[in-house]
Amino acid sequence: MSAIDWAVLVLTLVVIVVYGIYKSRGEQNIHGYLLGNQSLPWYHVCLSVMATQASAITFLSAPGLAYSSGMSFVQFYFGLPLAMIVLCITFVPIFHRLKVYTAYEYLEQRFDLKTRALTAFLFLVQRGLSTGITIYAPSIILSTILNINTTYTTLFIGSLVVFYTVYGGTKAVSYTQMLQMSIIFCGLFAAGAMVVHLLPANIGFVKAISIAGKMGRTNAIDLTFDPNNRYTLWTGLLGGFFLQLSYFGTDQSQVGRYLSGASVSQSRLGLLMNGLVKIPMQFLILLIGVLVFTFYQYNKPPVFFNSFELNKLEKSKYNPELNKIKAEYSLIHKEKEIAVNKMNAALDKDDAGLVDDQRKVLQEADQKEKSIKKQVTDLMVKNDKHANTDDNNYIFLSFVTQYLPRGLIGLLIAIIFLASMGSTASALNSLASTTVIDIYKRLIKKDASDHEYLQVSRLATVFWGIVCIVMALYASKIGNLLEAVNILGSYIYGTILGVFLVAFYVKSVNGRAVFFGAVLTEIVVTLLGWNEVVAYLWLNVIGCMLVIFFSLIIQAVIKHKKSA
Amino acid sequence: MKPENQLQNEQELPPFVKTWRQFYRLLISWLVFLIFIFYAFTKYFE
């Protein structure tokens, strides 16, 4: 990176942190620290929930995904507006009316202490472990790009977030997230405009999309019922709905964001606006990936986008084999370039037959390119069995660092830092809220002063910050930890959602039934997951359904015993 | 007597429309519109 890029990167980060601290200055109490005095307007709520959900990987993976397999990922978010409506009708008014700090507090009012403690504990385990990955994942990418050791990037992101989250609490988190999202939107818009600008003179915006479309990259909607297809309209609407409902309704890192709204109305509006904006935003991010794809039809892309892994292979004994593959790759790209130019001419003439012919040629070349990539990754694994063979996250970054002008590179690298900081800050804040409200205040010291709770909240934020940073540092030593944490999340999310759904919609079930139902579900889900009976994503749905089922059965047994 | 939350909901009205129910309908219509537009996008460029 050039000096200008470094200056932009450092300035952006400093401005964000100073702004967050400035806006949250002044004397605070526990209500202000954990809920921002419930004074925030809807646009704060909206940007805050968006920043919490969007991790750095969102902005890196999505364009890479569009580049390699098209835009079908947008369907993953179709369940989100529906989930927002359910949240606004049920969750938001109840949480506001009961004046709770955490979602789990409500469960004690509805059921009993043990159900509250169980769900709070499950949340702390799951969120505590996964936040380490939220810091680690972008750290490893940034360390590759900036050529800095992962430990430093992890420590830098982690300590910066801990600093302003400890100081300013929810208000600092929310104000920084608002600015972060504004910068992220501007940066992505600039990147999109630059891709179009960098295309050949005779290729405009619509033409670029047309070319990508002919190669299967504009597949935004898939109406098939193929169960093996991860992203279709149906999985997006049904699976996405359950996933988003459990995430926004039961994960304190999101509940804490919308509870900071000034009223039911402001919280609702923030969530509904998120439902309005999220899908078009994701579509536009994917569209950038599609434009990058067309750009690389005219400019030879690297044979593998993760330069760190490629350099490792080049320095190994497998370099001669790699060179042969690279030569073959160059030939295929030339073939492709000729076919793309012919396709362009055919599109100008509106010659459907010729377009179809060139489409076939291009699709064949695309397949050949994929098989060459497979040969490269096979060599990588031969050379180092722990090599990272997935380069999706590096496609957009590689483009940014190679082709974008100075200054903009720094801004886009800053975006990765900001996105990671936004979701980490929310997570730390929610971990502290749950520790203090559901554990310390409820189980350890009920009658402490407001000042003491505030100090304990700050200490809890520091504690969880350290845990997450250590987790992130440890993650670099174990290759498959990322997947392990995702699996752990699936073991837990479904159960918590099931408990909340019973709380809201099955009034006849009491605390004892739902508690034992949840414990039984955890045992069954763990066994199913451990023995790999189903793909781990299904554990969310199974967990949710089982809690409802077991609770009803246990409640019926209790009722029967009482009447007997 | 109406429940407290129902009273509160009636007092806090959404912008642009008269009731929250209308806002929810608006959001569902927006989702349907987006699906339709994306489908047209897919078909047009494929």
Q: Å from B6 to nearest chain A CA?
A: 9
Contact A89 B14 (CB under 8 A): no
pLDDT of residue A494: 87
Contact A221 B39 (CB under 8 A): yes
Q: What's the rounded mean pLDDT across residues A128-140?
A: 81
pLDDT of residue B3: 45
pLDDT of residue A428: 92
Q: pLDDT digits over A211-247, tens only?
A: 899 888 999 998 988 766 778 888 888 878 888 888 8
With a cut of 60, say whether residue A520 has pLDDT above it: yes
Residues of chain A with Cβ-Cβ distance to B12 below 8 Å are 263-265
What's the length of chain A? 564
pLDDT of residue A27: 62
Fill in the amino acid letter for A227: P
Is A293 in the B-facing interface, judged by CB distances under 8 Å? no
Q: pLDDT digits over A280-296, tens only?
A: 999 999 999 999 999 99
Q: Please name the residue of chain B whose CA is at the shortest distance from the CA of residue A91.
A: B5
DSSP A454-502: HHHHHHHHHHHHHHHHHHHHHHTT-TTHHHHHHHHHHHHHHHHHHHHHH
With a cut of 70, say whether residue A383 has pLDDT above it: yes
What's the length of chain B? 46
Cβ-based neighbours of A367, under 8 Å, separated by 6 or more: none
Q: Å from A336 to nearest chain B CA?
A: 18
Q: Which of A53-67, A112-126, A256-270, A367-381 has the lowest average pLDDT?
A: A53-67
Contact A81 B13 (CB under 8 A): no
Q: Which of B5, B22, B31 to mutate to test the interface with A (most CBs of A within 10 A)?
A: B31
Distance separating alpha carbons of residues A36 and A50, to the nearest angstrom:
18
Residues of chain B with Cβ-Cβ distance to A276 below 8 Å are 27, 30
Distance separating alpha carbons of residues A292 and A64, to the nearest angstrom:
9
Q: Å from B1 to nearest chain A CA?
A: 17
Q: Which of B4, B33, B46 to mutate to test the interface with A (most CBs of A within 10 A)?
A: B46
Is B30 in the A-facing interface, judged by CB distances under 8 Å? yes
Q: Give the domain ranges of chain A.
A: 3-295+402-477, 307-389, 480-564
Residues of chain A with Cβ-Cβ distance to B28 below 8 Å are 81-82, 85
Contact B23 A272 (CB under 8 A): yes
With a cut of 90, say whether residue A354 has pLDDT above it: no
Mean pLDDT for all residues in chain A: 87
Q: Å from A85 to nearest chain B CA?
A: 6
pLDDT of residue B1: 36
Q: Give the domain ranges of chain B.
A: 19-46
Is A38 in the B-facing interface, judged by CB distances under 8 Å? no
Residue A352: pLDDT band with limits 50, 70, 90: confident
Is B9 in the A-facing interface, judged by CB distances under 8 Å? yes
- What ipTM was predicted for this assembly? 0.85
More confident residue, A334 or A533: A334
More confident residue, A26 or A405: A405
**3-state SS record for A421-467:** HHHHHHHHHHHHHHHHHHHHHHHHCCCCCHHHHHHHHHHHHHHHHHH
Is B3 in the A-facing interface, judged by CB distances under 8 Å? no
Q: pLDDT digits over A395-449, tens only?
A: 888 898 889 888 888 888 888 888 888 888 889 999 999 999 999 999 898 888 8
Contact A280 B34 (CB under 8 A): yes
Residues of chain A with Cβ-Cβ distance to B39 below 8 Å are 220-221, 223
Q: Å from A188 to nearest chain B CA?
A: 21
With a cut of 80, say whether residue A141 has pLDDT above it: no
Cα first-last separation, chain B: 58
Residue A343: pLDDT band with limits 50, 70, 90: confident
Q: Which of B35, B39, B44 to mutate to test the interface with A (most CBs of A within 10 A)?
A: B35
Is B33 in the A-facing interface, judged by CB distances under 8 Å? no
Contact A268 B41 (CB under 8 A): no
Distance separating alpha carbons of residues A178 and A270, to the nearest angstrom:
12
Residues of chain B with Cβ-Cβ distance to A79 below 8 Å are none
Distance separating alpha carbons of residues A207 and A278, to the nearest angstrom:
26
pLDDT of residue B10: 46
Residue A185: pLDDT band with limits 50, 70, 90: confident
Interface of A with B in 248-287 (CB under 8 A): 263-265, 268-269, 272, 275-276, 279-280, 283
pLDDT of residue A472: 85
Taking CA atoms, A350 is separated from A338, A356, B40, B41, in Å, by 18, 11, 19, 18
Residue A548: pLDDT band with limits 50, 70, 90: very high
Contact A220 B28 (CB under 8 A): no
Contact B5 A97 (CB under 8 A): yes
Is B18 in the A-facing interface, judged by CB distances under 8 Å? no
With a cut of 50, say whether residue B4 has pLDDT above it: no
Taking CA atoms, A62 is separated from A195, A245, A248, A279, in Å, by 16, 22, 21, 13
Q: pLDDT digits over A51-83, tens only?
A: 888 877 677 788 888 998 889 989 989 999 999
Is A214 in the B-facing interface, judged by CB distances under 8 Å? yes
Residue A99: pLDDT band with limits 50, 70, 90: confident
Q: Å from B3 to nearest chain A CA?
A: 11
Q: Please name the residue of chain A whose CA is at the shortest distance from the CA of residue B40.
A: A221
Can you say whether residue A70 is alpha, beta or left, with left for phi > 0 and alpha for psi between -120 and 50 degrees?
A: left
CATH number given to A3-295+402-477: 1.20.1730.10
Contact B45 A265 (CB under 8 A): no
Q: A254-288 in b/e burial notation, b at 16+ Cβ within 10 A?
A: bbbbbbbbbbbbbbbbbbbbbbbebbebbbebbbb
Residue A376: pLDDT band with limits 50, 70, 90: very high
pLDDT of residue B7: 43
Residues of chain A with Cβ-Cβ distance to B2 below 8 Å are none
Q: pLDDT digits over A458-508, tens only?
A: 999 999 999 999 988 877 665 555 566 667 777 888 899 999 999 999 989
Is A220 in the B-facing interface, judged by CB distances under 8 Å? yes
